[in-house]
Amino acid sequence: MVVEVVGVGADGWDGLSTAAQEVITKAEVLMGSPRQLGLVPEGTAERRAWPSPLSEALPGLLAEYRGRRVCVLASGDPTFHGIGTTLVRLLGASAVRVIPHPSSVSLACARLGWAQEQVQVVSLVGHPTERVHPQVQPGRRLVVLSWGSQTPGEVAALLVARGYGASEFTVLEQLGGPGERVTSTTAAAWTGEVDPLNVVAVRCADGPVLSTAPGLPDAAYESDGQLTKREVRAVTLSRLEPVPGQLLWDVGGGAGSIAIEWSRHHPTCRAIAFERDEERVRRIERNVAALGANVTVVHGAAPGMLSEAGGLGGGGAAGGADGPDAVFVGGGATAPGMIEACWAALRPGGRLVVNGVTLETEVLIAQWYKELGGDLVRLEVQRASKVGGMTGWRPAMPVTIWSVVK
């Protein structure tokens, strides 16, 4: 069985190639959203609108029509944030044939005269508006894929709150169709109602910098004092080595800074933060929203709660291919079985980093270092501070950092 996937634009049937029209005409079953199905003329094919939630129903739906000629209608380019990649993941590349249409991003860049390779795409389909935060930087060009008519207003409000209200702000509706409309203003001046089928283009003005490099200012976080400080955080993340597409477990999350900066490294980086204190859980969630991080927060004490990660798409305590790619233990390292559980969960090639400030944790780290090797450093930071009418150095507590690759 080969499922054929045809990308359809807002221009509908007339905008399709001859090959795409032929696939649709010969199909025995047409699947798609009601809007997509309405863009092609009636024929002999049975029509099935997508059920909700689609991800759970899709395998059964495909099994129901096994042996019949199935054509799936998609918006624009089906392999660009679309159903095409879902079907390939489910069926395999050899069982899916894709006929793409220009994506909304390519159409938006064509209208604005922007080079696509210089644009950062942010999808808010199924994601909170805060996911835009890491990409908001001076001079950056963004194309935001909207999740309905409310998205432009939410993005504009976020930009204003971040100090980027002067950014060029363009909303492009019904791209490529007869109802296409392009409206340009600034984020601060944006008002109005828009069609649900829209994308938002932003040319960021100058504004406050919150880099995606490790070591955000401590003031960027809400904290009760349980915060890995800026310099230590930067060194710790250099040992964790964030890689696009990989997963981190942050055990003893505190303010969530390690998990947040791991996930801000790249849009595909994910993190799970484990925290036993309920108020800190709420605080981590607020920090995640404020900084636009891809972090799931689990309330509970480790190592017992580490098994909960399996249900979050984050592996489990058994390790192997589905385990985390990196684990950071910033609190609770001396809890019985903590290091053992974290080490067992790591995938082969994964990185374990443990920070300690107490003698008890240092003794434990030294024992594990002797057994497993790795890298052991002690970091001491001093900050300039007023001493009477002059300036002197005030030392922070030294931090021992142990890192090892499995």
Question: Helix, strand, or coil here: 304?
Answer: helix
Contact criterion met (CB below 8 Å) for 199 and 31: no
Assign 163 a pLDDT band (cuts: 50, 70, 90): very high
pLDDT at 315: 54
Query: 331, 330, 312, 332: which is closest to 322 by C-alpha?
Result: 312
Mean pLDDT of 22-43: 92
The CA distances from residue 267 to 38, 63, 243, in Å, are 34, 33, 10
CA 405 vs. chain centroid, Å, equals 25
Q: Please give the Cα distance from 303 to 301 (Å, whole number).
A: 6
Q: Specify the pTM.
A: 0.86
pLDDT at 390: 95
Query: 268, 227, 241, 247: which is closest to 314 by C-alpha?
Result: 247
Question: Helix, strand, or coil here: 396?
Answer: coil
pLDDT at 309: 74
The answer to whether residue 320 scores a pLDDT higher than 80 is no
Contact criterion met (CB below 8 Å) for 331 and 252: yes
Structure tokens at 335: 């809890």
Tens digit of each residue's pLDDT (9 = 90 or more) over 130-151:
999 999 999 999 999 999 999 9
The region of weakest confidence among 46-55, 109-118, 346-355, 361-370 is 46-55
Contact criterion met (CB below 8 Å) for 143 and 199: yes
Assign 52 a pLDDT band (cuts: 50, 70, 90): confident
Tens digit of each residue's pLDDT (9 = 90 or more) over 292-318:
999 999 999 888 888 777 656 555 444
The answer to whether residue 233 scores a pLDDT higher than 90 is yes
Structure tokens at 51: 């059920």
Structure tokens at 297: 């927060």
Percent pLDDT > 70 in the chain is 97
Residue 397 gets which letter from DSSP? Answer: P
Start-to-end C-alpha separation, the chain:
41
Q: Please give the Cα distance from 12 to 361 (Å, whole number).
A: 64
Assign 192 a pLDDT band (cuts: 50, 70, 90): confident
Q: Please give the Cα distance from 349 to 345 (Å, whole number).
A: 12
Contact criterion met (CB below 8 Å) for 116 and 128: no
Go through the domains of the chain in sequence order and give each one's CATH number.
3-101 (3.40.1010.10), 105-203 (3.30.950.10), 218-405 (3.40.50.150)
Tens digit of each residue's pLDDT (9 = 90 or more) over 96-134:
999 999 999 999 999 999 999 999 999 999 899 999 999
